Amino acid sequence: MITKFKKTENRRRLVLIVDDEYVNRELLGYILNDDYDLLYAENGKEALKMIRENSQALSLVLLDLFMPEMNGFELLEVLREDEELKGIPVIVLTSEKSAEVKSLKLGAADFIKKPYDVPEVILARVFRIIELSEDKLIIQETERDALTGLYNKQFFYKYAQHINRYHNKDKQMDYVVVNIDNFHLINEIYGRQFGDELLKFIAVSFRKFLIDVYGIACRVEADTFYMYCEHQESYEGLLEQIINVLTEITKTRIRLRMGIYDRQDQELEDEIKFDYAKLACNRIKGNFATSIAYYDMELHKSQIYSQRLINDIHEAIEQKQLMVFYQPKYGITTDEPQLRSAEALIRWRHPELGMISPGAFIPLFEENGLIQLLDDYVWKEAAAQIRAWKDKFGVTLPVSVNVSRIDIYDPNLKDNLLQIVEKNGLTTKDLYLEVTESAYAEDAGRLIEVVEELRRCGFKIEMDDFGSGYSSLNMLSTLPIDVLKLDMKFVRNMLEDSKSYRLIEIIMDIAKYLAVPVVAEGVEVEEQLKLLKQVGCEIIQGYYFSKPVPPEEFEKFFE
């Protein structure tokens, strides 16, 4: 974007006078001299050179039309085609009425009649055109995103409203959200400058597309774009075209995701419709089979359901609708299986929606951070339960609780856990902590730090869902863990699928190398148990022994 001096700055503007007649140059110079800095050129060619040299500083060109070498029309044409120069306003100096229309078409801002008027009129015109052009620049700068030149969010919504009200009252419009997959990685791998170029290229592609479909676009943040345009049957073509060119430039496949809201609902505000389009766009994150998603009834329902859960969670905690169930873990190295510990798993008995499984709300609360509230609740319940059983049966049964990725970033995590343990008269050996493997993959450095500290306090760390994440072998050897929990999907498929079985063997080897025991979860039948025992698995959790049950029911396992 051209950065020009603003009119608020109190400085003399630079004006170029172009005329082949000496007398005319002198005359204008005489009139303007007191208020402006002046440059003079005798023909179009000379003028163009000066304009190029002073493009940043020049506020106005006064241009005669009929000159040798390059005439005024020709110069106007060159300026109009030049991205950097076309913003400089030109006032045409002419005695012929007929030349006015042609000059206007070529982008002239105004005229000064020859022979010259009284000086006041000329000064007024010069002042007004400079002011107008500087106003336009200021408007453009506040309206637009500096990097891509697209509207910024605020003005985008304003213009969308304008289009609604005045142009497209009865037309069906689309609300489109576009996002680049893994943009932070692209920035990291290729550098920020490359990332910027990518964003600019996408913006240019949208602009071209939008000319024909009467639309506007904006960049809302980092790598998220909004488009508002007439309803399109399909966006496949646009997306494919952009991706093809991007692939050619970058030699890597860059993926764009698109979410579209195309329902006709006059009631909803534009912002909400874009929120919905964004939701559709987010739904296909990581789904490489699809790049375009529409906001539909199914999504609408699930969204309303999610919102309901978010609204109700605080009350649920207050009214004790949340319950903790326990699932036993049995040691299988002895002839008779032995109860070793339990996993605490949350349940929500909603007064209207009935029993809700954690699969329906845990991912949701992980997204918005509410999970911390919930985990804290489960930890306290579990610790109190260990205490109660200890008092009742005289044995301490360790219970493992789930620790979410977000909990790890909480600076109070350690103190909170210590306090919970202490308050119930337990030791840190009694509460196991399950952390999923994918959390390790995400920000290994930070996680390892936190986990090390917890281990120093005496907590045992179980790596949950092992085999589902992406931890590399060489990372594994440095991981601070005490137990591996085999991802359930291996167990589920181990009897039918030799590959799953083979993977279990490999994981057992890794565990041996790390010198940690393996817990297999999701064990439902005896054959699974036998085979797992054969390959050296020490602990089993699954329906084979019991589903997660309420604490009263769990007590039968103590007997």
User: Which residues of the shown chain bind Ca ion in the complex (CB under 5 A)?
Assistant: 402, 434, 464-465
| 23 φ, ψ (degrees, to nearest 5) | -60, -45
> Which region among 91-99, 254-262, 302-310, 542-550 touches ligand C2E (by CB under 6 A)?
542-550
527 touches, from ligand C2E, Ca ion, none (C-beta below 5 to 8 Å by class) = none
Q: Give, as ranges, the residues between 496 and 525 that touch ligand C2E (CB under 6 A).
A: 521-524
Q: How far is CA 472 from CA 481, 490, 501, in A?
A: 15, 18, 20
Answer for the pair 176, 156: CB distance below 8 angstroms, yes or no.
no
Among 371, 386, 454, 483, binds ligand C2E (CB under 6 A): 371
378 binds ligand C2E (CB under 6 A): yes
Task: Extract the tokens encoding 497.
Answer: 């699928």
**Which residue lies nearest Ca ion, judged by its C-beta?**
434
Q: Give, as ranges, the residues between 444 and 503 that touch ligand C2E (CB under 6 A).
A: 464-465
DSSP string covering 345-409 = EEEEEETTTEEE-HHHHHHHHHHHSTHHHHHHHHHHHHHHHHHHHHHHHS----EEEEE-HHHHT
43 touches, from Ca ion, ligand C2E, none (C-beta below 5 to 8 Å by class) = none
Nearest to 230 by CA among 213, 217, 209: 213
Q: Is 323 exposed, middle or buried (0-12, 13-18, 19+ CB in 10 A)?
A: middle
18 touches, from ligand C2E, Ca ion, none (C-beta below 5 to 8 Å by class) = none
Nearer to Ca ion, 312 or 464 (CB): 464
Q: For the window 158-197, what string marks contact with ligand C2E as x by the rule CB under 6 A?
A: ----------------------------------------
> Which region among 62-70, 172-180, 358-366, 504-512 touches ligand C2E (by CB under 6 A)?
358-366
Task: Extract the tokens encoding 418.
Answer: 């210590």
Report the nearest approach of ligand C2E to the CB of residue 371 (Å).
6
The rounded distance, in Å, linking the Cα atoms of 16 and 5 is 16
Task: Extract the tokens encoding 322.
Answer: 């949340």
Q: How far is CA 165 from CA 264, 271, 314, in A?
A: 15, 16, 41
Nearer to ligand C2E, 358 or 536 (CB): 358
3-state SS assignment for residue 447 = helix
Nearer to ligand C2E, 59 or 402 (CB): 402
548 binds ligand C2E (CB under 6 A): yes
428 touches, from Ca ion, ligand C2E, none (C-beta below 5 to 8 Å by class) = none
Q: Give, as ranges, the residues between 270 and 329 that touch ligand C2E (CB under 6 A).
A: 327
**In this structure, are strands 399-403 and 338-350 parallel, antiparallel, or unpaired?**
parallel
358 touches, from ligand C2E, Ca ion, none (C-beta below 5 to 8 Å by class) = ligand C2E
Answer for the pair 87, 133: CB distance below 8 angstroms, yes or no.
yes
Q: How far is CA 545 from CA 201, 243, 495, 528, 558, in A?
A: 58, 52, 18, 12, 13
107 touches, from Ca ion, ligand C2E, none (C-beta below 5 to 8 Å by class) = none
Nearer to ligand C2E, 68 or 369 (CB): 369
Among 362, 444, 448, 514, binds ligand C2E (CB under 6 A): 362
DSSP state of 167: I
359 binds ligand C2E (CB under 6 A): yes
Give 3-state DSSP helix, strand, coil % of the chain, rounded to 5: 50, 20, 30
345 binds ligand C2E (CB under 6 A): yes
Question: Under rule CB under 6 A, how many of the chain's residues touch ligand C2E?
Answer: 22
Report the nearest approach of ligand C2E to the CB of residue 382 (Å).
9
357 binds ligand C2E (CB under 6 A): yes
357 touches, from Ca ion, ligand C2E, none (C-beta below 5 to 8 Å by class) = ligand C2E
Q: How far apart are the first and last CA of the chain?
A: 78
What does the binding site for ligand C2E look like in residue numbers (CB under 6 A)?
Answer: 327, 345-346, 357-359, 362, 371, 375, 378, 402, 404, 464-465, 521-524, 541-543, 548
